Structure formats: C-alpha cells, structure tokens
Amino acid sequence: MSPWRRQGWLPLLALLLGAAGPRSGFETMTPELQAMQRDDAGNPGMLSVLEGEALFAREGCAACHAAAALRGVAARYPAHDAARGGPIDLAGRIAECREQRAGRPPLPRESQPMLALQSFVAHQSRGLPITPDPRLAEARAEGERLFRERRGQLNLSCAQCHETLAGGRLAGANIPEGHPNGYPLYRLEWQALGSLQRRLRGCFTGVRAEPLAPGSPAALALEAYLFGRAAGLPIETPAVRP
Amino acid sequence: MRRALPALVFASVAGLAQAEPVVVGDAIPAPLTAAPGEPARGRAIVADRTRGLCLLCHPAPIPEERFQGNLAPSLAGVGARLTPGQLRLRLVDSRRLNPETLMPAYFSTAGLVGVADAWQGRPILRVEEIEDVVAYLATLRD
Amino acid sequence: MSSPTSPRSGTEPGRRALFGGLLTLALAPPAGATPEAMAEAIALFTGGATPELSAAITLDIPSLVENGNTVPVTIAVDSPMTEAAHVRAIALFNQRNPQPQVIEARLGPWSGAARISTRARLADSQRLTAVAALSDGRFLLAEAEVVVTLAACLEG
Amino acid sequence: MARTLIRVPATATRGEVIEIRTLIQHPMETGYRPDAAGRLLVRDIITRFTCHFDNRLVFEAMLHSAIAANPYLTFTLRAEASGVLAFAWDGDHDFRHVETRALTVT
C-alpha cells in the first residue's frame, strides 16, 4: 500500500472516531474558559505545574527521570502493576516511587505537593492521546459495573448523567461526558487545582452516596474504566473546568 | 438488567411507624397525613435545590428561579395531567411505574446502594413535605 | 459596606450547594452591595463627579459565565496616553457582591495604553460598571450585564 | 512561598507598548465565606499590587475580595529604556511577595 493511501485513511478514521468518540469537557466550555485553559501564561493550573517542576528537581526525581522521558507516561495510566496484580494510578506510582526508591515520607494524595508533582508529570503528556493499558480489562469491567450501578439516596448512576444525559442541563450546568483527561485540573468551583478523586467524591456526595476511598480497589477500577472510555482523548493537564 | 425491586419498603419516620401508603393502580389515592398539604410550603420545597431538588431536572413555573434543568418533563400543567393520587405515587416511588426512571424515590429507601451515612435510612422528604408538594403540584393546571 | 454578620441570610438558592453538598461558595449571598452602594463607591472614586457613558471605554466581560468564581474581564479606554491627555485610573464596580469594589488601577502616560485585565468573582448575575478617570478631570463609564449560571454537584 | 507566572516580552523596541501579564498563587479568601461550622473564614486577600520600573512606580492596583483566587492582572507599559521591573503583591496578614524581571529595550 502506498504511503499516500495509508495517510488518506487517517483523517477519515479520525473524523469517524471524532463523530462517535468521546468528547472532552473542554469542548462544551465557553470560549472564555477555553482561552483560559489554552493560555499558559493565564492558566492558573500552570502554577501547580511550576511548583511540581521545582519539587521534581528538589526531591531528586530527575536523577532517575529525565523530564523528556516522562512524555507519554500519564497517557498510559492507570497501568497494570505486577506487584499488586492490578491497576496503579499516577498518584499511586508517584507515591510509591518517592517512598520506596527515594526513601521519602508519604505525601497524602490530596496534598498540594502531590498534586503539583502529578500535574507536572501529567503535563508532560499534554496533547497525547489516552492509550489504556490492555492488561487492565478485568479492572475496567469492575469499573464499568460501578459506573452503571445506581447509588446513594438519590439512586443515580454515573452512566445516567454522564452517558445518557450528557449534554443536558442539570439546573444551570451543562452535563459533560465526564472524562478524566485533564486531571489534575483547575476547577473554578474549587478555586484550586484538584484530583480526579476529588471530583468523583463531589459526584458521589452529590447523589448522597458514600464516596469511594481514594486508592481503594474500587476507586482504581472506576478510574481504569474512565480512562478506558476516554481512549484517544488528548491529555489536557492542567485543564480548566467550571 | 436491573433487578426487580423487592417488595416496596416505605420509610418510617424516627420511630413513629408510618402507615404504609396504599398503591391503587398507578396512584396512592389516600393522603399520607391527616392534615392536608399546604401548596405554598410545597412550592418552597420544589424551588429549594437542597430539599426538593426538583429544579435540578424539571423546569417549573417558578420564574424567580432562573436556572432550571431540562432533563425531565416540565412541571407546568402537571396538576391537570395527573391526579393528586398519581402525583403522590410518582413522588413516593416513581420506580413503581418505571424501574429505569431517573427520578429518585422521595419516600422509599428500598433497594438503595451505598447511601452516605448522613442519609442512611432516611427518605428524601418527610410525609408532611410529600403532601405539601402534592398540594402545590396539583395547583399547576396550565 | 454592610456587616457580614448574617452571611447566609440572603435568599439565593441559586448559589447554594445543589444536591445537598456542603457549601463551597466564594461569596456569601449579598449581605451588602446594592445599586445604591455601588453608586456610593463610584462617587467616592470620582470625588462626586458624574461619569459619562462613553463608547471610548469598553468593558469586556462574558455575558454568560458557567461559574462566578473566576470571570475574565478586560477594561480598555481609547486614549492617546500623552502627558496632556491620558487615563489616570480605571476602576470596576459591582452591584451584588458583599462589597461594591472589585479593583482600582492607577496608570499614566508611561502606560502607553489604557488597558487592564483581571478575573473577578461574581456572587450572582448582575450589572458591572467600569469607570475611567481622565487627566482632564472627566470620568467615563461603561456597563455590562453578566449572567452567572450555577455549578452543579458541589462537593462536600 | 507563593508561586508566580510573569510574562514580560524578552525584548522590546524603544517606544513600543508592551503588555505585562502576572498570575500569583493566593487563595483570596473573601472574608464572607463560612466554614463547615458556619463561622466566617478570616479574610486573607492581596490588597495591593505594584510594578516599579527602575524604582519608579508605573502601575498600581488595589484589589478587593471580588478578585478571583490566584489573582491575574495584565497592564501595559511603554518601553523607553532597558531596566528592571519589580513586581510586588501585598496583602492581609503581612503577605508580601516580590519578583523582578529585566526588560531589554533595543
């Protein structure tokens, strides 16, 4: 097959996938918010990326990891971890690396330094498509079960809002498809950068359900499923969302 | 794929055993309280996004509340479309009519999964509030 | 400015947590600012002079925002920015936050242009007023209406 | 220590009007927001931003609670000569952060 022909296919494929594929929350934001995310000098999430970059150097991460080699890493997470026999997410990997290899005290998942390190690492993959780890099929299946399970006093599932009703309006707010491709991200509601786990906690609390414990097998399974259903979407870290 | 609901278990209020609402066809014809509902209180509950939650999904003729959802049918005219008994069943447990419904059961805790501690065993509304909301919705005739 | 002793006494369910999440508001419902308070703050800025509505000043702010916590705003004044004719100051006011002031900026001929951008917090849909102080003692005014929609699923 | 993002053109020609963009990490706690227990959180905002060019004040802004968290501010300056831009953010509880950037005019 001639290279021409092969290339001819790609845009068509992209178009077809684009039409039916996942839609980033970015696309349904106002032009002003899109501009805020796009502009590195104005995106408030970049402050965390900068902080992460400084920490990365100060904590000696660069001794093993060249920043350039981090490109693409976040697009492959959550990944299969042989030692755990299951998924590990980016925050989990960073925590493990710091503690076991660098001998540093643990950082809580939601702490500012951890969010900063995570946003710095994920930022290196900005623009790269999410490529789910094929070894996580089992976790994704469990995650999908959780995604479709109705829960909480309001008895709603993730799927009801973020699949069936995506694009509708819950009160004044647009319901996005709920993809994880921009985390950690700067949410105007938080007025801060936060993790996917924090966002999930918000949703669970919203339907008056007990949130999943961050880093628990259930939380990792749901995360693996969310990244699986967002396959192909570019990493946007640090995204900006309302 | 959803399991059939177990026999309907209606919530009881703080130790006081509630008479179980009696479903007749697609309605609960008898009020749940001796005192009739109060439409003004019902309107306030419908408008309150942390109590009734109705406006998150339903548009309603409550003009001072600007941002109303579009996920569920408008409440305008609902009092002409449904009898108070039909409204009551839809509030108490809409799943009785459609197991896949988006609408939460406002007075049933049956079959719920993973409810947060703070809301455990509690229905979304109390019987008096259900009656207030029914009374209000019944006034929405155009 | 009125006392913030009763920050949640306003009736603004629109800005309250949906779905029973805890409150994560940037601003409590307006306990203070009103059109009158805004007019007072503007009078303080102009020293009592009445600003003229003018096309020479533009207040660029989205008419609809998803979240009032961070609303981009740019104010620009068409001015030669010379010693003889320049903008001395630019200020932004609001009607429905607890306080009517948002920002006051001072500039001069060395600024080269009269243009500032920032991000405001808006407790609710409301009218904003930008006022520019000119070197000749005049004040120019521009207004904009902003509709703030709600954020759903606020977290606990 | 607060982190900042400051964008100053690397070089400017004499007489050119440049735009300076600044962003600083700060919660801008309004003083009107209740905590979980319903008590108002103490106000903690940046109240004043200044830019000096070679020790001469060229821009000043007074900020209020209505400025968003992580204050973003842009303004302009006519570049007449090379020199040092000094940015300072002052606020509640003795908050002070200073940054400098060189401006090269050709």
User: Which of B49, B67, B116 is facing A152, going by the closest CB pair?
Assistant: B116
Q: Which CATH superfamily is domain B39-138 in?
A: Cytochrome c-like domain (1.10.760.10)
Instruction: Assess whether pLDDT exceeds 50 at residue C23.
Output: no
pLDDT: is A42 or D1 the higher one? A42
| Number of separate domains in chain A | 1
Cα nearest neighbour of B107 on chain A: A153
**Chain B residues inside the 8 Å CB shell of C13:** 47-50, 65
Query: What single string gives the DSSP state of each residue in B32-67?
Result: SSSSPP-HHHHHHHHH-TTTT-HHHH---S-TT---
Look up tokens 């985390």; give the residue: A183
Chain B CB contacts of C147 below 8 Å: 66
* CATH no. of D4-33+40-105: 2.60.40.10
Q: How far apart are CA C36 and CA A186, in angstroms?
A: 35
pLDDT at C7: 32
Virtual CA dihedral for D57, D91, C34, C106, nearest 10 degrees?
0
State whether residue D21 sits within 8 Å of chain A by CB: yes
DSSP state for residue D44 in the 8-state scheme: B
* Chain C partners within 8 Å of A189 (Cβ): 24, 67, 69, 151, 154-155
User: What is the overall mean pLDDT for chain D?
Assistant: 96
Query: Which of D1, D4, D5, D20 would you mutate first to test chain A, the one with the most A CBs within 10 A?
Result: D5
Residues 125-164 of A with CB under 8 A from B: 149-156, 160
Eight-state DSSP code of residue A186: E
Q: Using the structure block, give the residue that is written with the tokens 């010693």.
A: C83
Q: Give residue C28's pLDDT band: very low, low, confident or very high (50, 70, 90).
A: very low
Of A41, A47, A50, the CB nearest to D70: A47
Query: Is the model's pLDDT at C19 over the cut of 60?
Result: no
- Report the alpha-carbon distance of residue D32 to residue D101 in Å, rounded: 35
CATH of the domain at C26: 2.60.40.2470
For range A145-154, the mean pLDDT = 98
Q: What is the pLDDT of residue C122?
A: 94
Q: Does B67 touch chain C (CB under 8 A)?
A: yes
Q: What are phi and psi of A51, to 5 degrees?
A: -65, -40
Give the pLDDT score at A19: 56
ipTM of this predicted structure:
0.87
Q: Give the start-to-end residue ranges of the domains of chain D.
A: 4-33+40-105
Out of A149, A171, A204, whose CB is closest to B68? A171
Could you tell me which residue, A116 or C152, shows the higher pLDDT?
A116
pLDDT at C150: 63
A16 part of a folded domain: no
Q: Which domain holds residue C96?
A: 13-148
What mean pLDDT do residues D64-91 have?
Answer: 97
pLDDT at C155 over 90: no
Looking up residue A36, the CATH number of its domain turns out to be 1.10.760.10
**Residue B9 or residue A92, greater confidence:** A92
Assigned domain for C18 exists: yes
Closest-CA distance of chain C to residue A144, Å: 21
pLDDT band at residue D36 under the 50/70/90 scheme: confident
Per-residue pLDDT at B13: 44
User: Is residue A203 flagged as an active site residue?
Assistant: yes
pLDDT at C35: 86
- State the average pLDDT for chain C: 81
Range of the domain at A164: 24-241
The C-alpha atoms of residue B142 and residue A167 are separated, in whole angstroms, by 28
Residue B78 confidence (pLDDT): 98
Residue D30 sits at the chain A interface (C-beta within 8 Å): no
**Domain parsing of chain B, residue ranges:** 39-138
Residue A175 lies in a domain: yes
Mean pLDDT across C54-67: 95
Please list the rounded mean pLDDT of every run of 10 residues in chain B (142 residues).
44 49 96 97 96 96 94 98 98 96 96 96 96 98 94
| Dmax (CA) of chain C | 58
The predicted model gives C27-55 an average pLDDT of: 84
